[in-house]
Chain A
Amino acid sequence: MTVMIEARNAMFSFGRTPALRGASIAVDAGEILAVMGPSGSGKSTLLHCLAGILVPDSGEILFDGARVDSMTETERSSLRRDRFGFVFQFGQLVPELTAAENVALPLLLSGVRRTEALRKAYGWFERLGLDGMEQRRSGELSGGQAQRVALARGLVAGPEVLFADEPTGALDSLTGEHVMELLVTAAREQGTTVILVTHEPRVAAYADREVIVRDGRVNAPERIAP
């Protein structure tokens, strides 16, 4: 397997409070990895460092062999826009835009023409069971529908890595399960690597393996052969 994204001995502090204390992790291409750990353990910070949102104080972040931690802000921004996708706990849709425009957003930001971006966005609505929701705004969607729209937005540009931070945290069990099913199916179809932060074991069980973050370090169990 080829390593797609990696943290090597990453350290990061918020002011004087250390969040990562030498976190190391390697995620293979196409792998779905669950990052678990107690609140405040550093799992979201690790995700943000891997995604190039935060830059570690020391240590290395590598994506596809390139050092993310030494990129400029503009380079990291391009990386996030063109090669990564994101899904957060509360969807974080843009309320002024329709659901279809929200899904099309990553494509529009990458310079895809509006008609083409919307055509691609519309294709996701049927796939995620959201037929007829295209023109709704986020306030007119249920939590599960909004999260599926957010999932479509995270995947529409065919990212190489999808970062999902508690993607089902705000949903009831059945809706959360539906979202996870769609996420895993779509990621597998596209060959997308997924890094999934969750504290819910049932969500982590959709991943190929899990790592536990504790006190800013990663505890990875031995890989179990499939």
Chain B
Amino acid sequence: MSVPLTLLGLLEREPSHGYDLKRDYDAYFGRGKPLPFGQVYSTLSRLARDGKVVISEVGPGAGPDRKRYIITDLGATEVDQWLIQPVEPEPHLQTVLFAKVVLSLMLDRPASDYLDTQRSSHLQRMRELTEIKRAGSLVDALLADHGLYHLEADLRWIEMTGARLDALRKTVRP
């Protein structure tokens, strides 16, 4: 998660104070890990320094919360580019799962037992996410879905690998 770009994106909706940005960030993107105020203001300072936001007014209190930030054209362009740019699809070929299976086979350990344990662990996490989805808001559900689909992809790989263990064993233990 890019904090500067996300804050810029929030600013593109409307000019905001640092406090409002933190509140919205925490509500939509923080998910139990709130953004520290210090990070909000240091990020906004850097964005201002780089010409991506400007400070429109400073209230009488002159504290950091009195500043109102406005996105500049440069900042808006950066958000636009970021939003249309695809995230690098990770090939995930060297995941821990893969390494454990291959090493288990190399060391003549029960790889299928490991896969069963991993499947059970994945499904347990999927149950937790499903509960979050059932009990939470639409935003919670969307995030939970993202996790669920990734875990499901791992599970499909686990099933496929389980079906290929004999062949894989011959490859890694010639």
Q: Enumerate chain A interface residues (CB-CB to B < 8 A).
A: 38, 181, 200-202, 204-208, 210, 212, 219, 221-222, 224
Contact = CB atoms under 8 A, between A and B. Distances in A.
A206 B130 contact: yes
B119 interface: yes
A201 B122 contact: yes
Interface string B144-172: 00001101100100010001000000000
Interface in B107-132: 116-117, 119-120, 122-124, 126-127, 129-130
B31 interface: no
B148 A205 contact: yes
Contacts of A224: 120, 124
A85 to B, nearest CB: 22
B116 A205 contact: no
B126 A202 contact: yes
Contacts of A208: 127
Number of contact residues on B: which range applies? 10 to 19
A201 B126 CA distance: 8
A16 B151 CA distance: 38
B115 to A, nearest CB: 10
B159 A205 contact: no
A224 to B, nearest CB: 6
B23 interface: no
Given A202-B148, A202-B152, A221 B126 contact: no
Nearest to B134: A181
Contacts of A205: 123, 126-127, 129-130, 148
B151 A201 contact: yes
A216 to B, nearest CB: 16
A196 B104 CA distance: 32
A197 to B, nearest CB: 15
Contacts of B127: 205-208
Contacts of A38: 159, 163
Nearest to A226: B127
A165 B13 CA distance: 47
Interface of B: 116-117, 119-120, 122-124, 126-127, 129-130, 134, 148-149, 151-152, 155, 159, 163
Q: Which of B123, B151, B159 has the most CB of A within 10 A?
A: B123
A206 B155 CA distance: 16
The list of the 10 closest CB pairs from A to B, nearest first, reads: A205-B126, A221-B120, A205-B130, A201-B155, A201-B152, A205-B127, A210-B123, A202-B148, A224-B124, A202-B152
B166 to A, nearest CB: 13
27 contacts: A38-B159, A181-B134, A200-B152, A201-B122, A201-B123, A201-B126, A201-B151, A201-B152, A201-B155, A202-B148, A202-B149, A204-B123, A205-B123, A205-B127, A205-B129, A205-B130, A206-B130, A207-B127, A210-B120, A210-B123, A212-B116, A212-B119, A219-B116, A221-B119, A221-B120, A222-B120, A224-B124
A157 B126 CA distance: 31
Nearest to B133: A177
Nearest to A206: B130
A7 B151 CA distance: 30
A26 B148 CA distance: 28
Contacts of A206: 127, 130
Task: Indicate the member of B130, B134, B155, B159 with the most A CB atoms within 10 Å.
Answer: B130
A139 to B, nearest CB: 32
